[in-house]
Structure 1
């Protein structure tokens, strides 16, 4: 009897058994990074950067799943043929649904100064899988404000329904209030449009969510091409801060993968399950663009602090919404 139990336990531990009930990491094949994960209705969606040389980053794919296990690829939901001012480096999509439309925010061209054309754009579609068309015909943010490179945008919807854009590279992060049709911004009470909310240690990749009335501001720090890439966070009573840094909660595991970072978070409110979706580099890969999209469970302690995330090969359990 003991031998039979041992044999059963052995086979249940094998990957092909585990894969039937867990997502596995990476969750889908291909080089993809900077994933924005979101729930629309009863479907999980992931919108990543196509991880390649800048001049090859001229399109974006999306992936959908009903259970976190089986993912469907939606190829080329947007490309530079639809965005005339974009020609390379389409990065870090962020998506939101409003008034029956889907708005995809993206970075393009990796501009290095105000003299170049590029920055953060907006595309719109009738379905989450697109196809997306240019919403403005020009960048939404096409210049540097407060020294923040206009990349790595995240669209945050506050409790009062206000949509804000949180973005920035080069170790600076801005927040701005979006207007009703996402064609521009509404100034703050003091007349300014872009306010810097950069927390200690910030490099890029901002993300924000609310839990129990607190605003959790997360970001990536370190070098994206190396193993020293992390996700850290801070907490505040307002999306404007001030944000008090808590610490790092996602990092590499030399036994599993390196370069873990640039993440997003999904919340199954009904079951109160939190998922962190991020990219990492498989062991042995030295090409900076060889990054894959992964998902692991994110939990909190009794004080509401985020527990350190254990990156895994197994991923997360099957979960239908």
Structure 2
């Protein structure tokens, strides 16, 4: 059986991993639900700025594991349903291994973004949240394996280890940086200098951790951190009211808020984010679903709910999506008449990495791509 792969127009080599049967377009239920973006992305950082939702993420789907990634782009949406992007948002990072960009932080009249490039964290800056970004320190060029312009500095001959930056702005306008292995530190006013007083946040679960999430709600600081990986990805959390650097308390009851849902076949909810719709108490949890294996991942969003005492309820993980978060009037959608493709691929069998109960064969049908004709090369 042959399945078609659609390419993005205008971005050479960038593959949209919507795979289509070579058959007429027909209604069919999608067993993989409603992914946020019509592409394979991971490590999403989502926020709303001036009425527009921005999604910064790793672009997946290049079949070379962690040795490669797609180009740096930022997806935009007015309603949280219809998404698009306009070219590469960080030109000098194109062609590099570009992972896990943070949310943007508005400071000093600019917007700062903190991605991991070639395995090291860097600070980038732009006049706009959609770019173009350039390195905030030194010449706007990357040197492998790393340069003196990395966000972290090493006091020895060792590399400045650390990935997955998350930056939090407190009510007093002070900024804090969180990264891999539960590390945290103050970020100075220049937004590129990290305080040398680095702390390791104390949590009840030890071991490897990445994809930190940090936010504040009703005077309570929340630190979310991952456990495990692959199909065994989970998210746990601690909270407190003293400082972004702790100390934190383990919540009473269940501190694991996201884990595999075997009944719904949602595996390894990992590296994502929490975002709030400004002016509301509506919070959302975005996560990658590992079921596509390796670096072929997609991102889903569910509502994040709190109890009266401020503790977080375990997330009701679904692939259904949350729908529109703002009302926007669009023209009547056009009916898809013809689908064309430039390459083919057979059904994809995904083998388990850490969970022997995991078995999945990926397949896609033309109807799965309905609603994406704004982004891909099909005839409407």
TM-score by structure 2 length?
0.67
Which residue does the alignment assign to 1:211? 217
Specify which of 36, 59, 68 is matched with residue 27 of structure 1: 36
User: 1:148, 1:311 → 2: CA distance?
Assistant: 36
Task: Give the superposed CA RMSD.
Answer: 2.7
User: 1:265, 1:199 → 2: CA distance?
Assistant: 19
Residues 75 and 292 of structure 1: is their aligned pair in 2 closer, same or farther, counting only changes over 3 Å? farther
User: 1:109, 1:150 → 2: CA distance?
Assistant: 11
- Contact 1:174-1:198 at 8 Å conserved across structures: no
Match runs of 1:94-109 below 5 Å: 94=102, 95-109=104-118
- Contact 2:182-2:225 at 8 Å conserved across structures: no
User: 2:210, 2:270 → 1: CA distance?
Assistant: 10
Match runs of 1:269-284 below 5 Å: 269-282=278-291
- Contact 2:177-2:185 at 8 Å conserved across structures: yes
Higher Cα radius of gyration = 2
Which residue does the alignment assign to 2:90? 78
Which residue does the alignment assign to 1:229? 233
Instruction: Tell me whether 1:318 sits opposite 2:327 in the alignment.
Output: no
Could you give the per-residue CA deviations for residues 187-222 of structure 1, whole angstroms, max 9, x where no partner exists? 4xxxx5222224232511111111121111111111
Partner-residue secondary structure (3-state), 2:67 = helix
User: 2:267, 2:155 → 1: CA distance?
Assistant: 31
TM-score by structure 1 length?
0.78
User: Gapped runs of 5+ residues in structure 1?
Assistant: 1-15, 111-118
- Contact 2:227-2:236 at 8 Å conserved across structures: yes
Shift of 1:142: 4.3
User: 1:75, 1:244 → 2: CA distance?
Assistant: 43
Which residue does the alignment assign to 1:299? 305
Which residue does the alignment assign to 1:140? 151
- Contact 1:78-1:130 at 8 Å conserved across structures: yes
Shift of 1:74: 3.5
Shift of 1:59: 2.8
Which residue does the alignment assign to 1:248? 256
Could you give the per-residue CA deviations for residues 242-286 of structure 1, whole angstroms, max 9, x where no partner exists? 22233111122232421211121111242321111111134xx3x
Could you give the per-residue CA deviations for residues 61-93 of structure 1, whole angstroms, max 9, x where no partner exists? 2111111111112332125xx15xx97432211
- Contact 2:285-2:304 at 8 Å conserved across structures: yes
Which residue does the alignment assign to 1:164? 176
User: Gapped runs of 5+ residues in structure 2?
Assistant: 1-26, 139-148, 328-380
User: 1:299, 1:272 → 2: CA distance?
Assistant: 10
If asked which structure has higher relative contact order (CA below 8 Å, sep 6+), I would say 2
Residues 102 and 308 of structure 1: is their aligned pair in 2 closer, same or farther, counting only changes over 3 Å? same
Match runs of 1:100-119 below 5 Å: 100-110=109-119, 119=120
Shift of 1:144: 8.4
Equivalences, count: 277
Partner-residue secondary structure (3-state), 1:177 = strand
Partner-residue secondary structure (3-state), 2:231 = coil
- Contact 1:64-1:71 at 8 Å conserved across structures: yes
Specify which of 61, 69, 78 is matched with residue 57 of structure 1: 69
The structure with the largest strand share of the pair is 1
